[in-house]
Amino acid sequence: MNKCRSVARRMQHIQPFYVMDLLAQARDLEAQGRSIIHMEIGEPDFVTPAPIIEAGQNALRAGYTHYTPALGLPALRQKIADAYYIRYGVSVDPLRVLMTPGASGALQLVMSVLINPGDAVLMADPGYPCNRHFVRLVEGEPISVPVGSETAYQLNADLVAAAWTPQTRAVLVASPSNPTGTLLSVQALYDIHQVVQEKGGVLIVDEIYQGLVYDGECCSALSIADDIFVINSFSKYYGMTGWRLGWVVAPPEYVEPMDRLAQNIFLAAVTLSQHAALEAFSAEVAVILEERRQEYMRRRNYLLPALQSLGFDIPVVPGGAFYLYARSTQLTQDSFQFAQLLLDKAGVAVTPGRDFGRHRPEQHIRFAYTTSLKNLAEGVERIRCFIGD
């Protein structure tokens, strides 16, 4: 009791990831010799491409162990800006590219410079759970807008307009999205941006799964306007989760305050990771990343119909990321309990909807295809036996 009194009030709103409990249980079971198929993990199973690791090793050997400038290595910021031009034909001033400790650091920085206490930020529910906590940390109000298959589990211009209040300051979307893997088209982003602009707010687009796209156009919100905050990271497409390196492309007038804040709260992103990431744009790495993208696509193409044949409902084919968000009501009315039993009885770990918001979480399960096709097939067979098909 006394201990709790010393914890700040804002901590009341910070919830744990339920899947972490499941993951810990899965690891315990593995330690006891049980075989577990992991479909709960939201990070690539591939290790970082070898040329990037080598570049990191070389950087250490060369003694690059000091701080970089708060906004990152100029050469890396330039490479990222160049990549936007090469891939999407968008010219970005490298001075607007700010390196951060993961997309997480970018989200924290963006919320800190934008949100005053009481300001509301609109976001899709289901969505990436940390987003509401980033808003809470700066004493803002995360407003979860329920979304379903009719809008491909994404916000659209009408939903944004309807949810807008005088307190609304910003809208945060992700394309491709976690947990649903669905995309926003350039047109949809454009329409949302129009509404946000008319209302005098700010649009933030999380493009962390950019590159992991299997159908439809791969685009960047930067092609729409300069006043959008675009967040990205080396974690997912580049397979560098543990290196803790991301970036944000900020509207020009926000660069100076973000620099000031980054100097204070992070000092700089990890130096070793920035030197390694310089290699992430090489032709050699591009080949590796394309092979991996195709492997993810094969996995998606296998897992989607396999889960449907078991009775999971996946009404929208997810065009990207490495997730399938399935409605599980034909099999259970309580996805949390189902996930727990599935782990205990069948040795398959999945993430129940509860981690992603309050909109029908008990009806949904997220499957991550961050494991081999062989493991996915074994997982599907185990689920089939578990549900007695």
Ligand X SMILES: Cc1ncc(COP(=O)(O)O)c(C=O)c1O
318 binds ligand X (CB under 6 A): no
Using Cβ positions, the residue closest to ligand X within the complex turns out to be: 102
171 binds ligand X (CB under 6 A): no
Q: Which of 154, 182, 233, 370 binds ligand X (CB under 6 A)?
A: 233
**67 burial via Cβ count (<10 Å: 0-12, 13-18, 19+):** exposed
Q: Which is nearer to ligand X, 320 or 347 (CB)?
A: 320
Q: Which is nearer to ligand X, 194 or 241 (CB)?
A: 241
> Which of these ranges, 101-109, 248-256, 310-318, 371-379, lies near ligand X under the rule CB under 6 A?
101-109
Q: Which long-range contacts (CB under 8 A, 24 or more apart) does 330-337 make?
A: 331/387, 333/362, 333/363, 334/362, 335/361, 335/362, 335/363, 335/364, 335/365, 336/18, 336/361, 336/362
210 binds ligand X (CB under 6 A): no
User: What minimum distance in Å lies between the beta carbon of 187 and ligand X?
Assistant: 21
d(CA 352, CA 364): 6
User: What minimum distance in Å lies between the beta carbon of 105 and ligand X?
Assistant: 7
d(CA 178, CA 256): 30
The binding track of 26-65 with respect to ligand X, each residue x by CB under 6 A or -, is ----------------x-----------------------
Contacts of 213 (CB under 8 A, 6+ apart): 176, 183, 293, 319, 320
d(CA 312, CA 325): 9
128 binds ligand X (CB under 6 A): yes
> Which of these ranges, 64-72, 102-110, 132-140, 369-377, lies near ligand X under the rule CB under 6 A?
102-110
Angle, vertex CA 210, rays to CA 206 and CA 153, nearest 5: 60
User: What minimum distance in Å lies between the beta carbon of 330 and ligand X?
Assistant: 27
103 binds ligand X (CB under 6 A): yes
User: What minimum distance in Å lies between the beta carbon of 5 and ligand X?
Assistant: 31
Q: Which is nearer to ligand X, 111 or 306 (CB)?
A: 111
**312 burial via Cβ count (<10 Å: 0-12, 13-18, 19+):** buried
> Which of these ranges, 17-25, 99-107, 159-167, 286-294, lies near ligand X under the rule CB under 6 A?
99-107
174 binds ligand X (CB under 6 A): yes
224 binds ligand X (CB under 6 A): no
**4 burial via Cβ count (<10 Å: 0-12, 13-18, 19+):** exposed
> Which element (helix H / strand E) includes 307?
helix 283-310
User: What minimum distance in Å lies between the beta carbon of 241 and ligand X?
Assistant: 5
181 binds ligand X (CB under 6 A): no
User: What minimum distance in Å lies between the beta carbon of 233 and ligand X?
Assistant: 3
Q: Which is nearer to ligand X, 107 or 383 (CB)?
A: 107
CA 37 to chain centre: 22
- Of the candidates 291, 273, 182, 282, the one whose C-alpha atom is nearest the C-alpha of residue 235 is 273
Q: Which is nearer to ligand X, 99 or 103 (CB)?
A: 103
User: What minimum distance in Å lies between the beta carbon of 177 and ligand X?
Assistant: 7
How many residues touch ligand X under the rule CB under 6 A: the total is 13
In 116-270, alpha helices (H): 130-137, 157-163, 186-199, 252-265
In 200-270, alpha helices (H): 252-265
User: What minimum distance in Å lies between the beta carbon of 114 and ligand X?
Assistant: 17
For 259, the token pair is 């620099």
Angle, vertex CA 12, rays to CA 8 and CA 15, nearest 5: 125
User: What minimum distance in Å lies between the beta carbon of 339 and ligand X?
Assistant: 18
Amino acid at 80: I
104 binds ligand X (CB under 6 A): yes
Q: Which of 246, 357, 361, 379 binds ligand X (CB under 6 A)?
A: 246
d(CA 13, CA 82): 40
User: Strand pairing of 364-368 and 323-327?
Assistant: antiparallel
Please report, as ranges, the residues that interact with ligand X according to CB under 6 A: 42, 102-104, 128, 174, 178, 206, 208, 233, 235, 241, 246
